[in-house]
Structure 1
Amino acid sequence: MMSKDILFVIDSILNEKGVARQLVFKTVEEALSSATIQRFEEKKVNIIVKMNRINGKYDTFRIWKVVKDEKYTKSSIEIPYAAAKKINTKFEINKHIEYKIENIKFCRLAIKIAKHIIVQKVRDSEQTEIIRIYSKKLGEIICGNIKKIIKEGIIIEFDDKNEGFLPRKQMIHGERFNINERIRALLLNIKPYSRKLKLILSRCCSKFIIELLKRESPEIIDELIEIKSVARDPGYKSKVAVKTKDYNIDTVGSCVGIRGSRTKFIYNELRNEHIDIILWDKNATKFVINALYPLDVISLMVDVNNHNMEIVVKDQSYYKAIGKGGQNIKLTSEITGWMLNVVTKNEVKKKNKKKVKNLSFKLEIDEKIAALLVDFGLNYLEEIVYVPIEDFLKIKKININVIQKLKSRAFDELLKLAMN
């Protein structure tokens, strides 16, 4: 009767879970071993159960490691040489021997408990297998059908019947889906220790853009084109910086496709999110200009120490450079890694006039000379004092005598300020 009960439990699990028969038998053996160990008073006992896969009959064995008599420490998992010899004459030191013991007796309640343990172990085995399979797919795009829409997000069923979860915060703002609709998302994370194994998906991370571009541009897969960085405002706009070592390739054109065919697919997939493909450049100023294309940049003032740039544009181009809600300049700053500030040509003129008047007053010089200094980038007394004479000489309209006087006056003025 016991064998029939065990086979019944196994068959019900096979029908319910649809897992491999061998896996269930192995799990049943482990559950029976665990239950058998409970009847021993020793803290640690090695027990194995061997089950017949056809009729469900099983035998229980206790396992010991054979040690020399003088090294025996009365451990429950070791047996001395002399005692082992009485059980089985065919054994070796430091090897294991088996001794058949009485099978544990199960009542109906015990069968239910065993089934619960077995189901849990099968579930754990399933999760381990899912983790093994999907760990290889982390950072990749996977497809599935929407199974259920809940308040917290969307449950997606993949082609292998496993499920993924797309949280609301990982969805593109404003997008709507229907039950059974086909959807693409990036496998962002695996949470094996939650109450239920979760495959966390995302449609708004930057990696999703990269993987979509890879699908559309064989040159990226073949590593002819490299994606250097991505800045994204999900559902609105993204900037992607690309480069190539093969100068025969039209880097931006290859990613955009003929008449924008490749980025158009991504545009539709991301609910009309605009994609700007930008040519990366190791020269920071060129990279910033590329990132703002097709906007015309009049000039750039670079502050290396503070890692920021002031971008000068025409008055009519200011709002286009900033973008709605500052989006364009924010993404440009993010993708280039520089703090950026946009100003108009007229604003620069006004600022420069104030700087010219300030230098003219403090150094007691003509405003024309002060204007030459400001145009050269020398706006403050400290700069005039510490900039080498060799650099000053690049201002052709100022000779060395004037330079020395300017540096002397600037030093005296700073000294006065320090004393005050």
Structure 2
Amino acid sequence: MMSKDILLNIDSIYNEKGVSRHCIFKAVEEALSGATIKRFEGQNVNIIVKMNRINGKYDTFRRWQVVKDETYTKSSIEIPYTAAKKINKKFEINKYIEYKIENINFCRIAVKIAKQIIVQKVREAEHTEIIRNYSNKIGEIICGNIKKIIKEGIIIELDDKTEGFLPWNQMIPGERFNINERIRTLLYKVIPYSRNFKLILSRCCSTFLIELLKREIPEILDELIEIKSVARDPGYKAKIAVKYNIDPITIGTGYCVGLDIRGSRIQSISNELHNERIDVILWDKNYKKFVINAFSPLDIISLNIDEINQKMEIVVKEHSYYKAIGKGGQNIKLTSELTGWMLNVVTKNEANKKNKSQVNFLSLKLDIAKKIAVLLVDYGFTSLEEIVYVPIKEFLKIKELKINVIKKLKSRAQDELLILAMKEEKTILEKYNVRNNC
């Protein structure tokens, strides 16, 4: 009867939880072992149970491990090698001697212990199965119904009854949801050893926007359009840089903004993201053109580029300044993230003042005519460090300067930097002496 009851319980767990029968049998064997150990009243014993997977019958064994004579500690789970050889010459070191003992008589306490172990092992098996199934789905969109709203976030029951967790900091600002409401999220990460939630979801990461674009615009999956970069301020604004692998003049911009004038494709994604505004920008391998495209339709007067430090100064007209910066600096921040350049926007008047200041500085420090200083500034050489460390071949782009003039400029700049370094060192020493005197 006991064997039939065990088989019925195993089938019940298998049908209810979907855990493999092998895992359940192993859990039951460990449960029976644990319950049997209790019979020895605190003694240190090694008990294993071997169960027949067909008829549910099982046998219980006590085990001793064969160890070297010099490492034997008189433990009740070990036997010295010489003693083992007297029993059977086939016994070897690190192998086990097993003797069959009487199966446990399942009293009320034993059944309770066995049930607790079975439940724990089945839960562990379930968690292992969840990790195995979802580890390959990180970065994919998954759907579910809101099961519970707690202090830390939202618990979502996915379509396979597994629970995922959407923290408040991974939600779009201003979103509100109700119990049982259907929701789309991105599987952000899987935490195998978490006691609470193993599947962490997100709606505010850039990958979520990319996956929505792939679902809504099949040309991306067909590789007719390639997403090069994404910058996002969740719930407010996003910028997407795309590259057309076919002639964009022929197809127009309909693939991204929708096949109708209203831009139905992007609009449906915007609705999903709590009316987040989405700008689609044409990517260009020429970084200057790419930055200009990113600020379109604003007119850019000029670009001052520092390639070494990946910095760029954008000069715009007075009336375009606040549009280029955006509310709270949002536009310039997203554009910098999208292009990978540190961008700074200035008006034409500010740029002129700055250029004038830089021209006067170089003219004074290098003892050169302002005409030459203007040439240096126009080509982006605005500091003594740049003049010293930038290779001569870069200066040769200034056709008005000959190589002997360039060498003199570099030499004077180096002398000025040495003078500045000596002054700084002198100041530090003076401060040090004042402290010691005090």
> TM-score, structure 2 length as denominator?
0.76
Identity of aligned residues (%): 66
| Distance in 1 separating the partners of 2:156 and 2:62 | 47
| Distance in 2 separating the partners of 1:404 and 1:101 | 96
| Distance in 2 separating the partners of 1:42 and 1:124 | 27
Shift of 1:262: 2.2
Distance 1:100 1:386, change over 3 A: closer
Shift of 1:351: 2.2
User: After superposition, what is the alpha-carbon deviation per residue over 1:163-211, rounded to whole angstroms, capped at 9, x for unaligned?
Assistant: 1111111100011111111100001122232223431100011111111
Shift of 1:134: 1.2
| Distance in 1 separating the partners of 2:92 and 2:148 | 60
SS in 1 for 2:300: coil
What does residue 254 of structure 1 align with?
Answer: 255
Q: Contact 1:251 / 1:279 at 8 angstroms: preserved in 2? A: no
Alignment of 1:271-310 (within 5 A): 271-310=274-313
Q: Contact 1:66 / 1:84 at 8 angstroms: preserved in 2? A: no
| Distance in 1 separating the partners of 2:325 and 2:367 | 39
What does residue 216 of structure 2 align with?
Answer: 216
Shift of 1:322: 0.5
| Distance in 2 separating the partners of 1:388 and 1:234 | 43
User: After superposition, what is the alpha-carbon deviation per residue over 1:49-82, rounded to whole angstroms, capped at 9, x for unaligned?
Assistant: 214655x543324578999xx9xx9996899677
User: Is 1:238 aligned to residue 238 of structure 2?
Assistant: yes
What does residue 266 of structure 2 align with?
Answer: 263
What does residue 182 of structure 2 align with?
Answer: 182
Letter in 2 for 1:267: S
User: After superposition, what is the alpha-carbon deviation per residue over 1:141-177, rounded to whole angstroms, capped at 9, x for unaligned?
Assistant: 0001111122211111111111111111110001111
Q: Contact 1:187 / 1:202 at 8 angstroms: preserved in 2? A: yes
Letter in 2 for 1:343: V
Alignment of 1:131-146 (within 5 A): 131-146=131-146
Alignment of 1:360-375 (within 5 A): 371-375=374-378
Q: Contact 1:186 / 1:203 at 8 angstroms: preserved in 2? A: yes
Letter in 2 for 1:321: A
| Distance in 2 separating the partners of 1:192 and 1:391 | 54
SS in 1 for 2:274: coil
Distance 1:251 1:144, change over 3 A: farther
| Distance in 1 separating the partners of 2:233 and 2:328 | 12
Shift of 1:123: 0.7
Distance 1:304 1:321, change over 3 A: same
Distance 1:415 1:262, change over 3 A: closer
Letter in 2 for 1:330: K
What does residue 171 of structure 1 align with?
Answer: 171
> TM-score, structure 1 length as denominator?
0.79
Q: CA RMSD in A?
A: 4.3
| Distance in 1 separating the partners of 2:224 and 2:322 | 36
Letter in 2 for 1:149: I
Alignment of 1:7-406 (within 5 A): 23-36=23-36, 45=46, 47-51=48-52, 57-61=57-61, 83=87, 100-244=100-244, 246-248=245-247, 253-259=254-260, 260-358=263-361, 371-379=374-382
The unaligned stretches of length 5 or more in structure 2 are: 424-438
| Distance in 2 separating the partners of 1:123 and 1:390 | 68
User: After superposition, what is the alpha-carbon deviation per residue over 1:270-310, rounded to whole angstroms, capped at 9, x for unaligned?
Assistant: 01111222233333322222222222221111112322111
Q: Contact 2:29 / 2:48 at 8 angstroms: preserved in 1? A: no
Q: Contact 1:315 / 1:345 at 8 angstroms: preserved in 2? A: yes
Letter in 2 for 1:272: N
Q: Contact 2:303 / 2:315 at 8 angstroms: preserved in 1? A: yes
| Distance in 2 separating the partners of 1:173 and 1:415 | 50
| Distance in 2 separating the partners of 1:412 and 1:256 | 54
Letter in 1 for 2:343: L
Letter in 1 for 2:333: K
Q: Contact 2:163 / 2:199 at 8 angstroms: preserved in 1? A: yes
SS in 1 for 2:49: strand
Distance 1:416 1:237, change over 3 A: closer
SS in 2 for 1:238: strand
SS in 1 for 2:137: coil
Q: Contact 2:326 / 2:332 at 8 angstroms: preserved in 1? A: yes
| Distance in 1 separating the partners of 2:157 and 2:393 | 70
Q: Contact 2:225 / 2:243 at 8 angstroms: preserved in 1? A: yes
